[in-house]
Each structure stands twice: as structure tokens, then as C-alpha cells.
Structure 1
């Protein structure tokens, strides 16, 4: 129980630091994933979908603060998510290791936990985490894409106004005045409570679990990540032991690199699910185009293939790879150092209690 608590605290602390460092890239990536653009505008889409273009666009229209939309609930979500994940991951890991040790005594196996067992451990911890924290990430996605949705609304109103002008022969001064009024609008303040009310008004309580199906399927992402990480770490420790080196001498840099490799493999293999999840959790496009509205996971997949093509499932992947790999590397490095710190403090406390007794 103590080791699970230490790992939970270490994971939460590492996650917060990694989140703060990489949050602007995460915001951009969510906006790239949720941008609905038709196949015929591919060349134009490629320009608008670049990270550099979106950085300039956000800073120009929203200031630097736009890159940190939804940071507060995101930090809370990160701490809660990683704390829950690492806590249960360590509990299930301890159980798996105990079972492996018992099997070794019975003459089955070498006492180590196999890859399949690591997958099960990570999947169980991930599923519990998803069910508990999905509402937080729905709000974060809404806040990250709020100005994007408002921009789409203004574009729809502008198109409707131009259409009305052509049909009703509006005078140029009148048309220009109304267009200027639209262009002068600024994004409305959009906090966590307003996002929560909006989700509830649209879909009720179930709205907070939008995207739960692809999110649960995406549990395989950390499962793959931790399988690669644990397997690589075990291989490194065995190599150190074979060379008669202390396995505790594994450096923070080595942990950083192992975390980067693990996250890269997991991200590339599960990215399409992440795009579908973000599309479902974001505010549905405003306007008369039903091709941009999704009633569920399968509806989103079918419409994305039909109207945007297969490349839409990989929108913003380069940004995500940079953000997630760097975040995971920082997370693993900081988490391991915090675990050592917390474990040391816990041992000192236990020694003091023994002396007092």
C-alpha cells in the first residue's frame, strides 16, 4: 500500500510538471485534431494545419493566454489522472509480481512478470482512471477549442450575411457595417463552470462521458507505453547486473530516453483513436452542415472517412509526437526522482517511529 501511495504521489507530481511544460503544444494539437476541413481544400488545409501557422494564429487573435486555455482543469485532471493511474498500477503490479513469485515456487516461470501480464496491469489501471476522470478532459477539450468554435460560428454568420446581401441587394455601406460588427467581436470569457453548464445543457450528465468508447479503447496506449518501458527497464537492469553494476545507478537521463521511446511507440499506434475522442468531446460545429456533427463514435469515424478522408485521423500527429514524447520523458524522469524522495522520507519516518517506540 505504501509503495502504491508513493508511486501515486510521484506520478501526480511528475505529470503536473510535464503538463505545464508542454501545454501550449497540447492546446494546438487539440485544435488541429478537431478542425473539420473537406478533402477538396487539402493544399489549403495543410498550410492551416501546421503548428507554426496555428501558433501565430492563436497569439495574434488571443494573445499568449490562448495557448493556455483550460490549463487549470487540465492540471487538476493530470494530477488526479496520474495519481489514480499510478496508484492502481502499482497495486496491480505488486499483485502480478506476487503471483509470478508464487508460480516460480511451483516451478512455473522464472519469477518475472511477462509482457501480457504488464498489458493487463496497465489496462486495468487505465480503465479505472478513464472512468473516473473523463469529465475533466471533456471540459479541458471544450476550453481548448472554445475560440475555434466561436470563429466557426462567426464564419457561418458571415457566409449567411453575404448570401443575404446577394439575394436582397443590400447596399454596400449597410453590408460593410454589419461585416465590421462581426469582425469586431471578441471571444467570450469561457471558464470551467461555463464549460460544464454548456456540456450539461447539450447532453445532460452523459455529456461528461462523451468519447468514453475511444478513450477506453485507448487504454491500450499506456498499456503499450508501459509494456515497452518496463521491458526496456528490465533489460537495462539485467545488463547492469550482468556487468556487476548496481541496478540503482540508472540515471535520470536513461529513464528520460526509455520514456521517450515507450511513448513514441504508443502514440503512433493509437493516434486515430485520440482524434476521434477529441472530435466527440469538442463542441459540435455550429451551422447547417451535418457532416461536421457526430452522434457517436461510429458516426464520427464514418463521416471523417467520407468527408475528410483517412488523413483526417492523423491531423496534428507531428505536434502530438513532439508534445507527448517530451511530456512522457519528463514525467518518467521526475516521477522516478520523486518516488525516491518520498520513499526516503517514508523510511526516515518509519525509523523515527521505531526509535520513539
Structure 2
């Protein structure tokens, strides 16, 4: 951990997350569309039904152009900053408070608990932005609205509660960052201990080492929690307006009451493999994003510490100069 306040850690984390998500945003659009597509809607929207991540990339590029790969970019990046800032703030604050009361090394189990608590607090605060982003990423070309327009429509059609669709799945998914950061801290401690034994007393990992540890941590967390990641997106998604032309049976198949309802319906229609639709781009996106985030956050944190040190030095020099 860097010598930063919760606000400093939150700022470094938010900047790192922004950089990472901007780099992989097209993958986010692709995986989201793969997650929400259903066989019932294939005949109605053939251009929005994809056989693979590559097929999705080519079809979006053909029908919507390059900007189609950045649908919901503004909301997505705003949500990324808000989510990362709030998570790192709560994580730093909760972890710091715990260490003050219980000095000494923190166990892996406690790291997971602290991460889950921080994740839950963050999700409750930022879920509305995620709902708006999902709607923008999955809306048909003729149904796309601005951030404010999308939010207003959700409130008009579903009430304010519509902005918190998928909250149940989101709270379950709090174990995702808990697993990620718990594994990251554990692997980082092990790696630093090995470096120390080898004579490296810097106490810091290189960018490459941080990338590898971040990638491994996020890959494990994504595979374990993916069914609920898919369920969360489906809960936040809204079927296109022409779903009304489907039979009652097919309409029921694409209308969901809860994340459990989604998992049951997908399992009945597609088997366990249906729970992992869109896993490939999700894994690539999540691993790259998380690894880049860890690298960027550490770098931003180091720069912030340097800036604080410079400001502190300037404050001590100024009185001395004025007194001459």
C-alpha cells in the first residue's frame, strides 16, 4: 500500500481504471451484446445476433461504424471513474480502519471480507450509471438516446427503482473484486518476499510483475463469478420494442424477474454453457483492464506521493525564504 490517504488512493485508482477501460471499451460493448442476445430475437434483429466475438466486431463495424464499438462511451467512462473511485475509497478506508483496530498482517479471508464490504458500498452508489451504460450499449441504432435521455426514459418507464436493476446480482458480484484484490495482495506479498530474499529491497514490483499478478487475479475472479456477471447484464438490458411481435411464450423467455430467474431460464434453454455466453471477450477485457489498472494505479500512486512530497517541501521552503 502507498502512503496515501483514502482520497489519494481513490484518485489513483480512478485514473488507473479510466485509462484501462478506455483502452478496452470496444471489448466491453462486444461482450455486453453477446451476453444479452437470445435465440428468440434472432429473426427480429439478425444484425444484432452474433456467432462469436469476431462476428460481433465485424457486424457492429459494418452496420454502425467505428462509433458503434464505443456505444455508451461517455456513460461507461463516467461509471468507471465513479465505481473505481468509490471502491478504492471505501477499500482504503475500511482496510485502514481495520488495521488500526487489528494491527499486523491481514489474512486472506479478511482481505476478501473487506473487499466485499467495499464492493457492496460502491455498487449501491454507482449502479444507476451501469444500468444506463448497458442500455446504451445494447439499444438498436434507431433507439439510442443520450445519457440523460436514457436515464429519463428508464425513470419514466420503470420508476426510479429501474436505475437499480440487477442490484441483487451486483451485490453477489462483490466477491469478484474481493477475490481479485485478495488474490492480488496475497500474490504480491509472496512475490515481494521472493524478491527480498533475492536481494531486492526496493519493496516494489515492476510494471511487468504487477501486470502478471493482476491478470492472474482477475482471470480467476471472472471465471468463478461469470454466470452472475451475465445475469446482471441481462437484468439491466431491455428487450427491443419489436419484441411485442413475438409469441407470448417467446416474450416470457426474454422477460426476467430476477437473476435467479435468468440463470434458470438460460440453463433450461442452453445448458451450463449458456451461463458463459460472451466469456471470451469478458475474460480478455477483464484481464487486460484489471492488469492495466493495477499498473496504472501503482504508477499514479507513486506520482501522487512525489507531488505531495514536492508540495510539502515547497511549504517548508516558502517561510524560510520570506523570513530572509
Q: How does 1:1-357 map to 2 (within 5 A)?
A: 2-37=4-39, 48-101=50-103, 111-147=104-140, 187-285=142-240, 286-287=243-244, 288=246, 289-356=251-318
Using the TM superposition, name which of 115-124 and 190-199 deviates more: 190-199
Distance 1:303 1:188 in 2: 27
1:126-163: CA deviations, max 9, x gaps? Answer: 0110000000000000000002xxxxxxxxxxxxxxxx
Distance 1:3 1:240 in 2: 27
Tell me what 2:322 maps to: none
Distance 1:63 1:302 in 2: 36
Residue pair 2:136, 2:144 contacting (<8 A) in 1 also: no
- Tell me by how many angstroms 1:93 deviates: 1.9
Distance 1:26 1:257 in 2: 21
* Structure 1 residues 299 and 249: alpha-carbon distance in aligned structure 2, compared to 1, 3 A threshold: closer
DSSP 3-state at the match of 2:17: helix
DSSP 3-state at the match of 2:39: coil
Residue pair 2:210, 2:295 contacting (<8 A) in 1 also: yes
Residue pair 1:49, 1:315 contacting (<8 A) in 2 also: no
Residue pair 1:291, 1:307 contacting (<8 A) in 2 also: no
- Tell me by how many angstroms 1:188 deviates: 4.2
- Tell me by how many angstroms 1:239 deviates: 1.5
RMSD value over aligned CA atoms? 1.9
Distance 1:267 1:56 in 2: 25
- Tell me by how many angstroms 1:271 deviates: 0.3
Distance 1:301 1:68 in 2: 28
Distance 1:4 1:333 in 2: 18
- Tell me by how many angstroms 1:342 deviates: 0.4
Distance 2:143 2:110 in 1: 49
Residue pair 1:284, 1:294 contacting (<8 A) in 2 also: no
- Tell me by how many angstroms 1:241 deviates: 2.1
Query: TM-score, length-normalised on structure 2?
Result: 0.89
Residue pair 1:233, 1:258 contacting (<8 A) in 2 also: yes
Where in structure 1 are there 5+ consecutive unaligned residues?
102-110, 148-185
Distance 2:91 2:276 in 1: 29
